[in-house]
């Protein structure tokens, strides 16, 4: 355990190097020996009351998603993901020894700082100017998922794959921020979580008229018809469909540009006849991959 005073002292020392962050964790860009390091100090998830409740449920053995675990356990999970991706040959930042050993008791992560362009910035140029790069990205995604399915390796899925957590640098796409996940889920469920987070986030960053070409490109490259079928069932065959559709309408009324799960699955269905046909994988026995 670490004291609040030590945590406060550490953050105060790092304050001059702070990066803008939309999360409850604190992020920093630290200069060292002519290069920059990335350092993250783990904090409670917001809203705080739900985080505290769910972290206590986790402590008494009621399993909770990674993001609701205490800081040290979130750090351990993220380090495990980064090491594993590196070992398998996928692009993530290198783990580094912290330059602040005196604050070892304060959970924090130190990696190389990736000087790159976020996927969000790439998409801000419009789909058609980025199409070639997006095709390469989807091919990388397909290869990684194919390996994960083949080996039942759930650590190879990036559950928080939004467009701020994917960067292009040196003709490679890097994934960062591995603080989300449900380790007990099957590969198909994990893949659905990554793909829905990714495609919804990408769709949000494009004008509405450019979303359809994006999703068509995804279907062309991601040659796994079993997953697309499973994703569709996970949304349209969930219990309490009336409630889910009412919530969907409310979200669209609040923000007409918002991409919802129903928007995504319907867009992926629109050209069903073009869906790549691959031999279906063994289907796990579960109700669905999405809440």
71-110 confidence digits (pLDDT tens): 999 999 999 999 999 999 999 999 999 999 999 999 999 9
Mean pLDDT on 157-165: 97
Q: What is the pLDDT of residue 22?
A: 61
**Rg of the chain (C-alpha set):** 20
Q: What is the pLDDT of residue 184?
A: 95
Question: For residue 16, is it left (φ>0), alpha (ψ between -120 and 50) or beta?
Answer: alpha
Give yes or no for residue 276 having a pLDDT over 90: no
Q: How many CA atoms lie within 13 A of 87 on its CB side?
A: 9
DSSP class of residue 108 equals E
Mean pLDDT on 8-16: 93
**Look-up: residue for tokens 């919530």?**
247
Q: What is the pLDDT of residue 5?
A: 85
What pLDDT band is residue 289 in, cutting at 50, 70 and 90? very low
Q: What is the pLDDT of residue 271?
A: 55
CB contact set of 233 (below 8 Å; sequence gap of 6+): 288
- Domain 4-112 belongs in CATH node 3.30.420: no
DSSP class of residue 47 equals S
Q: What is the pLDDT of residue 200?
A: 97
Q: What is the pLDDT of residue 2?
A: 52
Q: Where are the domains of the chain?
A: 4-112, 117-274
Size of the chain, expressed as the number of residues it contains: 291
What pLDDT band is residue 283 in, cutting at 50, 70 and 90? very low
Residues 46 and 106: their CA atoms lie apart, in Å, by: 19
Please answer whether residues 190 and 227 qualify as being in contact, where contact means their C-beta atoms are separated by less than 8 angstroms: no
Least confident range of 9-23, 82-96, 153-167, 263-277 = 263-277
Residues 149 and 192: their CA atoms lie apart, in Å, by: 12
> pTM of the entire structure?
0.88
Please answer whether residues 166 and 175 qualify as being in contact, where contact means their C-beta atoms are separated by less than 8 angstroms: yes
Least confident range of 199-203, 212-216, 281-285 = 281-285
Residues 124 and 43: their CA atoms lie apart, in Å, by: 30
């Amino acid at each position: 355990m670490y004291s609040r005073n030590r945590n406060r002292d550490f953050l105060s020392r790092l304050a001059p190097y702070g990066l803008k962050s939309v999360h409850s964790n604190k992020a920093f860009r630290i200069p060292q020996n002519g290069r920059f390091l990335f350092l993250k100090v783990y904090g409670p998830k917001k809203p705080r009351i739900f985080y505290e409740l769910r972290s206590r449920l986790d402590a008494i053995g009621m399993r909770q998603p990674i993001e609701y675990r205490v800081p040290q356990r979130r750090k351990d999970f993220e380090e495990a993901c980064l090491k594993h991706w590196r070992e398998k040959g996928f692009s993530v930042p290198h783990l580094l020894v912290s330059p602040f050993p005196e604050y070892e008791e304060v959970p924090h992560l130190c990696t190389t700082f990736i000087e790159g362009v976020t996927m969000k910035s790439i998409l801000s140029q419009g789909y058609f100017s980025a199409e070639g790069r997006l095709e390469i990205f989807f091919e990388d995604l397909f290869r990684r998922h194919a390996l994960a399915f083949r080996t039942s390796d759930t650590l190879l899925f990036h559950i928080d794959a939004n467009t701020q957590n994917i960067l292009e640098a040196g003709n490679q796409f890097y994934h960062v921020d591995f603080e989300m996940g449900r380790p007990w889920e099957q590969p198909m469920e994990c893949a659905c979580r990554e793909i829905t987070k990714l495609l919804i986030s990408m769709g949000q960053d494009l004008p509405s008229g450019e979303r359809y070409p994006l999703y068509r490109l995804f279907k062309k490259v991601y040659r796994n018809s079993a997953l697309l079928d499973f994703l569709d069932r996970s949304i349209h065959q969930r219990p309490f469909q009336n409630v889910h559709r009412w919530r969907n309408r409310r979200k669209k009324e609040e923000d007409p540009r918002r991409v919802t799960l129903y928007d995504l699955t319907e867009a992926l269905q629109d050209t069903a006849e073009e869906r790549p046909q691959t031999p279906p994988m063994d289907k796990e026995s579960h109700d669905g991959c999405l809440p």
